[in-house]
Structure 1
Amino acid sequence: MPETPPTLDPEVLAAQARLREAGVANGDILAPDLSEARAATRRYQAFLNEGGPEVPVVEHRLDTTPALRLRLYRPPGEGPLPAYLHIHGGGFAFGELDSLDRWKREIASEAGIIVVGLEYALAPEHPYPAAIEQVMAALRWLREDAASFGVDGTRLAVGGDSAGGNLALGALLRLRDAGMPMPRLGAIIYGMLSARHQTSSHQQFGSGAFGLSTAKLERFWSHYLPDAALWQAAEAVPLHAELSGLPPLLLQAAALDPLLDDSLALDERLEQAGVPHALTVYEGMPHGFIAQTAFLSKARAARVELTAALLRALR
């Protein structure tokens, strides 16, 4: 019997209709005007961020080059509190401090921990290694200098979605190699971990029918790594790295995503390296689904899974 063609979850189709009614759509990296594509992404994210719990926030600036802005979502409660640094996606070219704002408020409220977002330098204006160096600066600040913000620098976790998953895994590898204190948990959510686009998931889902496409990913990589030799380099593409010695990792993946095989390959390599980890593949979901907690029950389930993992690791 022929296999049933993959289809989007009905909730995703309903959410897409809501987005069309609102006149918002994620920006297209293949569009000729990058600034307008980024503006479209900001409007799209602003719509997804509506609602959710209110959580006090404070912003801080680190004097990196370029300067790095951080936003700390601090729920009520006695401190110091553990902190989770989340690195947003966007192919290294899109995203800002408001990315996943509602999702971060929800996690801070549910977990009772400080959630930290950052606005790292984007490509192509700032190619590798600008973003990863800023992530390292943020982790160093949280560990050493954020006590006045109520952060317990001994109880940290780091994670990221898509390109942010690349940066989160890359930061953990850098900390390991430098012999520095490690966060207690890493979260890699449909990570953009490899520039190899001949995989089964690219062949199945890379047309763009479900949103993200192979062509878009190739453009993202060319912006972030203009030197093509880096496309296979472990320091920039962490799926090529040696993975032993990492803290426990939570992997989340979307079943209808050209990046699915990146998560599956990471799962296999972590198993070989003896790194404690768990992988959940969310069926019927496209890339980027975690941002839609207002519409998708599986986005809420993924958030609950991450929140539980954070609480186990940090408390």
Structure 2
Amino acid sequence: MSVSPLSRTDDVDPDVRRFIQRTGADFAALAAVAPPTTITRRREICEQVRAPWARGGPDMAETRMVQFGSNGVRARIHIPQSGAGKGTLIYLHGGGWTVFSIDTHDRLMREYADRTGCAVVGLDYALSPEHRFPRALEDVEACLSWLRVDGAAYGLSTGRIALGGDSAGGNLSLATALRLRDRGEPLPDALLLNYAALDTDPRPSYKRYDGDHYMLTTDEMRDFWISYLGKPSTDDPYARPLLADLAGLPPVHLCIAECDILTDQNTELAARLEAAGVEVSAMVYKGATHSFLEAVSISACAGRALQDASDWLAGILNA
């Protein structure tokens, strides 16, 4: 495992700072018109705020929607110009299990498709609080089953499968792998974890990087956990993966933002995975905050992080 040095400064990359300022100002402006007093209104605002950042980027050879499973889960398939490749990435968007969608994270998924040369399937899993833990995990497992059984009919390569996501999506990716391992079922070939939410218990980075100027606040993270679990915490390792035995997992790549309340949870996970004998690639990006990958249209730091992960994924999926 190679973890880049972690500076203890609070300096945020200037381009990432612009991303935070713009999204914050847009949220405030929309909230002033109609306050986010309901979950529906909050989601509407979040979708509108992130819409400009989901535009642009690589053009795909093919993009299509599918629906599957008893819950009627939707997913978006992106096939890059180079073709579907030898493997497929299932990507799970962030948003505290409560907000955002495959629309807000569409550019991220197209970036991964273009940079890896593999197809990407973005899953619109059920959100909390309407559908609490473990419903989203069930949707992820349904997507894996659909891909293995029916993916080829949609032009997808199913020989190698990676599972990944950011924040809440990183949590769901790791937790799904743990559930499959414990049941003795086939595992994904790789896990991509971007600044994942891994535990309800705060770490020291919660104090170092709290506040709107670092994108994700401790109060927001607490509220997201309550939305997902229906209570502040649980002892279930499928909700809090840092409680789990981590042995027997596939190779893992961690994209860790330096200036993020979740930094310490992710560096702790990297160390624990290595101790458990899991192949780990972990990169800490100086000056990056939570959600910084979505700033790829203006941030060289986000571009580097996406390319690092894509190179790692391509080495596994296209082997």
Task: Give the CA deviation at 1:207.
Answer: 3.3
Is 2:228 aligned against 1:224?
A: yes
The residue that corresponds to 1:286 in the other structure is 289
Query: If the length of structure 1 is used for normalisation, what is the TM-score?
Result: 0.91
**Relative to structure 1, is the Cα distance of residues 178 and 211 closer, same or farther in structure 2, using a 3 angstrom cutoff?**
same
- Equivalent of residue 159 in structure 1, options 157, 164, 167: 164
1:167 alignment partner AA: L
**Relative to structure 1, is the Cα distance of residues 100 and 286 closer, same or farther in structure 2, using a 3 angstrom cutoff?**
same
Is 2:37 aligned against 1:32?
A: yes
User: Equivalent pairs: percent with the same residue?
Assistant: 34
Q: Give the match's secondary structure for 1:285.
A: strand
**Relative to structure 1, is the Cα distance of residues 307 and 25 closer, same or farther in structure 2, using a 3 angstrom cutoff?**
farther
**Relative to structure 1, is the Cα distance of residues 151 and 314 closer, same or farther in structure 2, using a 3 angstrom cutoff?**
same
Question: Could you say which structure has the greater relative contact order, defined with CA pairs below 8 angstroms and 6 or more residues apart?
Answer: 2
Cα separation, 2, equivalents of 1:84 and 1:25:
34
The residue that corresponds to 2:154 in the other structure is 149
What whole-Å deviation, never above 9, does each CA across 1:234-262 have from its counterpart, x for those lacking one?
Answer: 12111111000001000011111111111
What whole-Å deviation, never above 9, does each CA across 1:161-219 have from its counterpart, x for those lacking one?
Answer: 0000000001111121122222211011100000002x110111123331211111110
Cα separation, 1, equivalents of 2:30 and 2:228:
17
Task: Give the CA deviation at 1:227.
Answer: 4.2
The residue that corresponds to 2:145 in the other structure is 140
- Equivalent of residue 242 in structure 1, options 242, 245, 251: 245
1:80, 1:147 within 8 Å by CA — same for their partners in 2?
Answer: no
Task: Give the CA deviation at 1:97.
Answer: 2.1
1:26, 1:41 within 8 Å by CA — same for their partners in 2?
Answer: no
- Equivalent of residue 101 in structure 2, options 90, 93, 96: 96
Cα separation, 1, equivalents of 2:105 and 2:139:
19
Cα separation, 2, equivalents of 1:53 and 1:89:
21
Is 2:218 aligned against 1:214?
A: yes
Cα separation, 1, equivalents of 2:172 and 2:24:
31
The residue that corresponds to 1:311 in the other structure is 314
1:293 alignment partner AA: V
Q: Give the match's secondary structure for 2:214.
A: coil
Q: Give the match's secondary structure for 2:126.
A: coil
Query: If the length of structure 2 is used for normalisation, what is the TM-score?
Result: 0.90
Is 2:156 aligned against 1:182?
A: no
1:27, 1:38 within 8 Å by CA — same for their partners in 2?
Answer: no
Cα separation, 2, equivalents of 1:13 and 1:237:
30
Where in structure 2 are the equivalents of 1:97-116 lying within 5 Å? 97-116=102-121
**Relative to structure 1, is the Cα distance of residues 27 and 264 closer, same or farther in structure 2, using a 3 angstrom cutoff?**
farther
Cα separation, 2, equivalents of 1:171 and 1:15:
31
Structure 2: give runs of 5+ residues left out of the alignment: 1-6
What whole-Å deviation, never above 9, does each CA across 1:96-153 have from its counterpart, x for those lacking one?
Answer: 1213111211221222210110111110111001100000110111122211011222
1:275 alignment partner AA: V
